[in-house]
Structure 1
């Protein structure tokens, strides 16, 4: 299969809006049923060989929700063997929300109440999922392509993660922003600004350089690789980025952006993405005073005998 196949935002924006909300419905279950981890690492999804998964959660029973993006079905499985499944094609968000609750009940999951759940940070955040019959577009080919692109990007981010020996998040797929990311930490504590909400305080309680990929949205209608440093050090946007990449103003901060189609057009797309991620990381880490050399890790190896 082609590396980084085309996935223009305009070609599947209606389907993307629906699937994003499907993911948020499942994400609400993940938020309620998973053991809490620092920086909310318990909440995002991970990839499987056929789609995305919540990973096991809960204790009575332990269960998993998998979105099969080849057969376009949701599978809810309990550790005792009980299983419930339903299709996603032709289904509205309200219908998806109802079927997921029924599937959870069928495998014995109780005490996870998403009946009043609403979208997070989306234009219809005031409307419960249970009332959303508007979003019902589902192009199976586009959804499979989304998973294929996500899978390829996942491997590139895993390789990038292996170049750093410090505290690093998993490579994970965030359902609230619908991006895939990996975050490096200096572990220097960041005092929260006055009025910062609890979600943001936990996510950014330490200095970070976060790198990832998103599929586009109405404010930036193109898929792209990105990187940002938080808190943003002085002079970050003055740093040089590889050809085709740029600094994008996002409020009071800056985002390093490499458009997906620019990477696809490169002689070596994989190298182009790796060079961009490394350059954006160094731009933030050096200006923030990180021990860049001490935290470097060649090919995922820290054993001195192996690295000699």
Structure 2
């Protein structure tokens, strides 16, 4: 999945996802650490899951179908509107999405109808005709990679009995992630923005995959511990190709996608990477690893026998 081969499609699709994601933000109940906001992988693409603007309104979903390459807006009572994804600019996609909702009697107000934390964050979606590339082959491959990574993350997530997030796809950073929590409260500095304050109000070790960006221009699996304990970047990682990478004042554990795929058992390599990153962060932060363990997704010690 070389970033250079689908960068233009990725930039367009990222903004499509932010439009739908902001609708999800406006039409879902607030959940701790923003868990109400991300997408979830489906058998044909990604979904918002069911939502509604206010009590009594129609329940609806918005799905990206990366098999037939359509955006599908559907209500609980069976009505549906859809339109093709190829050939759309961000501006036309924005208009078509709102028109599909309106045709179903759904009115959603996007609080800030412009990109979040992207270079063109000051430009409204409705004015963006620059991003208009959609390669169906690349979009389908993106979804297939997401699906494979989600499966591995689900398997890894099963080994932890403490509070942890679903495996979900964030439209903010365009990554897929699973996060484990120790339960310790973390006081954020006064200058922290609201997104950061809620995301990191508790001590976490997070695991995920992203498709690359300007600062790391290739797809990779990653993990980080926040706040970062002293000495974390000195801990060993598996497999041997994994590395600690400086990212501002902290470090990411990184396993390049191509390095994982080059091995004889990529799935085992990724699971070993996540486990080594977890052991590094949990050990340095003094988590009770044995107590929080959940081998094979089973918490009852009798059932493990």
Match of 1:51 in 2: 45
Which 4+ stretches in 1 moved above 3 angstroms?
Answer: none
1:282 pairs, out of 272, 279, 284, with: 279
1:151 pairs, out of 124, 147, 154, with: 147
In the TM superposition, 1:1-308 aligns within 5 A as: 7-58=1-52, 59=55, 60-110=57-107, 112-114=108-110, 117-242=113-238, 243-308=240-305
In the aligned structure 1, how far is the partner of 2:215 from the partner of 2:95?
A: 30
In the aligned structure 2, how far is the partner of 1:73 from the partner of 1:289?
A: 47
Q: 1:302 to 1:15 in 2, by over 3 A?
A: same
TM-score calculated relative to the size of structure 1: 0.96
8 Å contact kept, 1:83–1:106: no
TM-score calculated relative to the size of structure 2: 0.97
8 Å contact kept, 1:168–1:184: yes
In the aligned structure 2, how far is the partner of 1:255 from the partner of 1:238?
A: 12
In the aligned structure 2, how far is the partner of 1:197 from the partner of 1:44?
A: 19
SS at match of 1:209: strand
In the aligned structure 2, how far is the partner of 1:218 from the partner of 1:201?
A: 25
In the aligned structure 2, how far is the partner of 1:24 from the partner of 1:11?
A: 22
State the Cα RMSD in Å.
0.9
8 Å contact kept, 1:115–1:130: no
Deviation at 1:115, TM superposition (A): 8.0
8 Å contact kept, 1:27–1:175: yes
Deviation at 1:116, TM superposition (A): 5.4
In the aligned structure 2, how far is the partner of 1:266 from the partner of 1:148?
A: 19
SS at match of 1:65: strand
**Unaligned stretches of 5+ in structure 1?**
1-6
Deviation at 1:80, TM superposition (A): 2.1
SS at match of 1:147: helix
Deviation string for 1:50-82 (max 9, x for gaps)? 000000001401110000001000010111222
Deviation at 1:304, TM superposition (A): 2.0
Deviation string for 1:240-280 (max 9, x for gaps)? 11211111111000000000000000111011000000000
Count residues with an aligned counterpart.
Answer: 301
In the aligned structure 2, how far is the partner of 1:103 from the partner of 1:306?
A: 50
SS at match of 2:295: coil
SS at match of 1:299: helix
